[in-house]
Chain A
Amino acid sequence: MIKRTLLGVAIAALALGTFGATSQDAKASDDNTLIIGTMWESQPLAMKPRRSRFFNESEILDTLVKLDYDLKPIPGLATSWERVSPTVWRFNLRENVVFHDGTKLDAEAVKFSLERVVALLPYAADLLNIKSMTAVSPLVLEIENTEPYAALPNQLTDAITVVYAKSSFDEAGEFVKPVGTGPWKFEEYRKQDRTIVTRFDGYWGEKPALEKIVYRYIPDHNSRTLALEAGEIDFVTNMLPSDVKRLSKDADFKVYEQPTSGLYYGAFNAGDKSPLSDVRIRRAVNALVDRNLIVEGALDGIGEPAWEFFAPEFDWAPQADSKYSLNPERAASLLTDAGYEKTDGKWTKDGEQLTLRILSYTSRTEMPMITEAMAALLNQQGIATDVQMYTWGGMLDLVKRGEYDISVVFWTPEMTGHPDLHLKSQFHSKAGLNYQFWENTEFDAAVDTGRTLDAGTEKDATYKKAMNILHDDAPIIPLVHKVFVVAATKDVKGYRIHPSGFFFDFKNVSK
């Protein structure tokens, strides 16, 4: 009985994993409906930082400021903005905008929404840096910051700053469901299955061609693409590199491929529990891993080798003065300095080989491949590894406790078109998301100042300094710059990849 049960479960898991997607409602979509297969569940009923990105990505809700295809701020719900004093920004709101529930958008509504966001999402307070908000007139909102804050318009493009209608919250102020001003309104959510949005005819911008979009949650990376090939979905995200190759050759499908913001990197544990608390070893690891081989070997060439923090395509962020490079000789001298000795091709100290515990998670398509490739490259150079794959949450538990040496993660540094977001939220010693036990007071000072400065030489110099510290003190090993890939059936027209990687922009899509 036990044997059968176990076998049954294993087989069922295999079968579900591989073929599960093909069993239901084939060809459910008509010309006015777009069905998308996603890697992560599009949860419309939770308002957590990671999840509420979906509200912006799917355009159920709008932000005050949006980013164009060059990642430059453009009008969203605000048509223009200006600084009326060093610490005060004035936003002029768009006229005749209505929420999905029929209420009108005005300065009071925006104020209410931003206050709720700051109250409910821990990292919003630091992101927005708001001292007070005043609705000067129905369409003018003034935001006063605690310090001169040049970064505010860019920060207001972040997905978590979307503007919610009052009816998104219950009496106690807790989030209930997304009611926004976007071209799509939230219709239905089926747990672990799909989220449906429909066209909002009262939308302030140009009316979308499609009537309905279905976000189907297909976590298995194989089945997601299979579902596209079986005609069950029209559009698929986060494909396996091997599938990208195959579909590119297939005339029935179109593969969209473009560099977007996003960096796969190994975050080093710089705390006492790890050998990586020694900066020399952090630098040595950076000089030992050939990123070209990771892109070629683990990702079938889909990605760009990352020898620096920000991808070179994005010119609004200053780069550090030098890049990392593959340099085993330099690594060898660093490791020797740190007291290690190479015997039998292994780096050892006091008879023990340098061993790194590497953690990552499996839910994101490329993670296991990148992690394993990095570990293999370190092994070849004489550093032992202990690789363990978890769920995102499982990994984070260990990371928060400092029980790791490297955690391989993905983050989108360029999401707001301003260097502040990623640098401050991940690497500032006071940042809630800094689990690396890395602390550098000069870096802290630079990113604290950078966000207050207007575009110009001083801002560039400040961020250059921060980037140089990040490079020299090496709290991470950048691995791969993301190349965003989606595929759709050939009937899908008008889609364009947004370089933030967090914005579908289905308004112009038809099929």
Chain B
Amino acid sequence: MQKMSFTRGKLLGTSHHWRGYATFMIAVILAVLILPFFAPHDPHTVQFLYRLKPPSFDYPLGTDAMGRCVLSRLLYGARLTTASAMAVVVCASLIGSLIGAIAGMVGGVLDRAMMRFCEGMSVFPALAICMIIAGTLGLGLKAVIIALMCVHWTDYARVVRNAVIVERSKPYVMAAVALGARRHRIAVRHILPNIIGPLLTLSAYSMSWAILAFAGLSFLGLGVEPGTPEWGLMIAESRNYLRDYPRLVLAPGLTIAAFVVAVNLLGDMLGDRFRVRQINYLH
């Protein structure tokens, strides 16, 4: 009886944090969606007669080699980068969690086979896999999102599988089993609420991973179409002007760095809240 109530308490606590996290994420998403409206110019407008201008009142961060407003491109890039990174994280976590939960709940040969497959995946350098997938599917945003997802779901599968195995042996699960609950009900109603903390923490970290990976692939020319306001691509396109106009590389570079630091801090905060110590972080 005592143990049951302990579990309930933890559950309530979890859902409290879950609400805070959700509010925060919605605020971030809204901010990112609204940001482009503050852009002073159209990020695509090319003005050859107004290229490489220094920062001014009209162009707070100056213009790039094609005469486009750097600030506007950064603001539009925020939406594109965040939305793509979110897509990667959401898809990877859903697929990975489902597979991890099945492996953890079913166990046995299936579990071993799945985990060996995940390990196999993580042996390959992620960038190489992304390049192969993006190369096969053809260049473009969709290909990169799919590629990053394919690489990333294994992390979730392993974390969820380990968490499920730990939780499965706990008394509250045994109690549920004794009451005759079915396996999927145990997984969804009992175990999932108890591992949501580690999952959310992992998702914050993987968000920053996705942003960096996305920018990296764009930098290498595998991501979005040339001319798109995307941070990694902005660095790649300004690279040729690094010596004479370092601000063109610094602006997107520092933005990426700041964004990643912010998301990582959020992850740390969540980790502290949930007292995530023993999660098997794979990256």
Contacts and interface: CB of A to CB of B under 8 A. Distances in A.
Interface of A: 1-7, 9-10, 13-14, 17-18, 221-222, 240, 242-243, 245-246, 293, 296-298, 362, 368-369, 371-373, 375-377, 379-380, 386-390
A415 B227 CA distance: 34
User: Which 4 pairs show the lowest CB-CB distances between chains A and B?
Assistant: A297-B48, A10-B216, A376-B46, A3-B283
Contacts of B215: 10
B48 A5 contact: no
28 contacts: A2-B151, A4-B283, A5-B127, A6-B126, A6-B209, A6-B212, A9-B125, A9-B127, A10-B127, A10-B216, A14-B219, A221-B240, A222-B240, A222-B242, A242-B244, A297-B46, A297-B48, A297-B66, A298-B65, A372-B227, A375-B227, A376-B46, A376-B66, A386-B225, A387-B226, A387-B227, A388-B139, A388-B226
A379 B46 contact: yes
Task: Pick the most buried of A10, A18, A380: most chain B CB atoms within 10 A of its CB.
Answer: A10
Contacts of A296: 48
A388 B225 contact: yes
Nearest to A360: B226
B162 interface: no
Q: Which of B51, B122, B127, B205 has the most CB of A within 10 A?
A: B127
Given A2-B283, A3-B209, A368 B46 contact: no
B151 A18 contact: no
Given A6-B209, A293-B48, A380-B46, A242 B227 contact: no
Given A242-B241, A379-B44, A380-B46, A7 B226 contact: no
Interface in B28-64: 44, 46, 48, 51
A314 to B, nearest CB: 28
Most chain A CB neighbours (cut-off 10 Å) among B67, B152, B205, B227: B227
B66 A243 contact: no
B97 to A, nearest CB: 17
Interface of A is mostly: helix
B221 A389 contact: yes
Contacts of A375: 226-227
B117 to A, nearest CB: 15
B282 interface: yes
B277 interface: no
Given A6-B216, A243-B243, 14 more contacts: A5-B126, A5-B127, A6-B126, A6-B209, A10-B127, A10-B219, A17-B239, A240-B240, A298-B65, A379-B44, A379-B46, A380-B46, A388-B225, A389-B226
Contact of A1 (B152, B239, B283): B283
B230 interface: no
A96 to B, nearest CB: 50
Contacts of A4: 283
Contacts of B122: 1-2
A372 B209 contact: no
Given A2-B155, A3-B283, A4-B283, A242 B209 contact: no
Contacts of A297: 46, 48, 51, 65-67
B213 interface: yes
B213 A6 contact: yes
Contacts of A14: 219
A379 B228 CA distance: 13
Nearest to A376: B46
A326 to B, nearest CB: 13
Nearest to A295: B48
A2 B282 contact: yes
A373 B219 contact: no
A374 to B, nearest CB: 11
Contacts of B243: 222, 242-243, 246
Nearest to B140: A388
B4 interface: no
A372 B237 CA distance: 10
A401 B120 CA distance: 36
